[in-house]
Amino acid sequence: MNTDRLVKTFQELVSIDSPSFGERKMADELTVRLRKLGFTVSEARAGEYYGGTAGNRYAFRQGTIPGKPLLFSTHMDTVEPAEGKKAVLHGDGRITSGGTTVLGADCMAGTAALLEAVTELEEEQADCRALEILFFIGEEKHLRGSAVFDFSCVQAEESYILDLSGPAGTAAIQAPTLIDFEIVVHGKAAHAGFAPEQGVHAIRIAANAVARMDMGRTGASMTVNIGHIEGGVKATNIVPERCSLRGEVRSYSHEQALEEMKKRGSQIPGGICGLWGTCGAAVSAGQYYSIISGSTPMTQDPWAATARLTSNIIGRLADVGGPRCCKRTGFAAIEEAARYTAETTGIAMELPERTTCTFMANNAECRKRDCPFFPV
């Protein structure tokens, strides 16, 4: 291994701006380097799915010995802030960022190591099986690039993803699923000095909810975290009317993670529709759409699309008015979610021509004929 060349390659790659869905410069640079090493390189169309500047890169090089190809993979994007990155080499051998951006070692370290290994093979004319390389876009946005890649072109039965920290030789054989969630608390603004009793304190409600949740490692294979809370306005004399919480659940079992989300939902106090200005049915529909759209706190269009569905449901419920009825809100949320899914994805869900409630006898506050689901 040529250590000086490896460090130089790493520094050169780090200096290329490559945010998620803005990987064009990086993709072009890697294409040039791979072709010089004897690879044929093709570009997939993943960027078109997400409005990005580049697609995934697939590269292939013939081998000199028989056997199935070996597949190696890294990703081309880095987390933010990713503009103007540079790698600073210190006298003690450490490499750091310049201090105002991320370094981008994830995943430029793995990419530089892969290029150095192939360069060594080329220089030594060493015998090797055929090689396949995949460089993905949008990995930092929850593997969005690999999600739309057509793997039918891949011949390898062994693959190595160079995207792990730790001592040389460390390997991961399992990775957790990740589910992001957002909770928005709607209170009521009021002057905190003159009439605080007229307000509903959204931050306090959110804080009480967080205090009731288990955090950190909640089991042998699960972690839960609320990583961001934001609410109120700059003025301190206003009872805050809005507070948002963003968090995540990670688990080696996707089903277990979904169960944990259900548990989190059950920890939200009853009656939030009247106290918080939202509805559990609307929140649940938002959770559903965030999963199928890939929405996270850091996405753009999927985040907006998920919020739009939730707001559509809340608006429909507000048009009918109170008092609350969980059957009415549930029916409305399901109908709106089905319609919205058909409009945005083309996937049609089966719905009855008219949803009719049969529980009105059990609800003393039933709106009767003012309810859109009351029997005609």
pLDDT single digits (tens) 53-101: 999 999 999 999 999 999 999 999 999 888 899 889 999 989 999 888 8
DSSP E strands in the chain: the ranges are 40-43, 57-61, 70-75, 88-89, 95-96, 131-136, 158-161, 177-186, 216-219, 222-231, 242-251
Segment 152-172 mean pLDDT = 89
Q: What pLDDT, on the 0 to 100 scale, is given for residue 374?
A: 87
What mean pLDDT comes out for the span 231-237? 93
- CA pair distance 216, 197, nearest whole angstrom: 35
- Per-residue pLDDT at 274: 67
Is omega for the bond preceding 66 within 30 degrees of 0, making it cis?
Answer: no
Q: Is the pLDDT of residue 294 over 70?
A: yes
Q: Is 123 a catalytic residue?
A: no
Task: Say yes or no to pLDDT of 32 above 80.
Answer: yes
pLDDT at 273 > cutoff 70: no
Q: Per the structure block, which two tokens stand in for 31?
A: 């294409």
Residue 77 is among the residues annotated as catalytic for this protein: yes
User: How much is the pLDDT for 368?
Assistant: 85
In this prediction, residue 272 carries a pLDDT of 60
pLDDT band of residue 319 (cuts 50, 70, 90) is confident
- Mean pLDDT, to the nearest integer, of 225-230? 94
The average pLDDT across 281-300 equals 86
Whether pLDDT at 175 is above 90: no
The domains located in the chain, with CATH, are: 3-161 (3.40.630.10), 177-370 (3.30.70.360)
What is the structure's pLDDT at 275? 67
Residue 29's pLDDT is 97
Average confidence score pLDDT of the chain: 89
Burial label for 255, CB within 10 Å (0-12, 13-18, 19+), is: exposed
- pLDDT band of residue 21 (cuts 50, 70, 90) is very high
Strand ordering across the sheet containing 158-161: 40-43, 57-61, 131-136, 70-75, 158-161
Token pair in block for residue 1: 């291994």
Q: Which residue has the higher pLDDT, 332 or 363?
A: 332
Task: Indicate which residue of 77, 106, 241, 260 is catalytic.
Answer: 77
Tell me: pLDDT of 219 over 80: no
Q: Which one from 23, 116, 139, 260 is the annotated catalytic residue?
A: 139
What mean pLDDT is predicted for residues 303-307?
Answer: 92
- CA–CA separation, 78 vs 105, rounded Å? 8
Whole-angstrom distance, CA of residue 55 vs CA of residue 149: 9
C-alpha dihedral, 263 to 267 to 273 to 278, nearest 10°: -60
- Name the pTM for this structure: 0.58
258 alpha-carbon distance from chain centroid: 15
Q: Residue 1 has what pLDDT?
A: 85
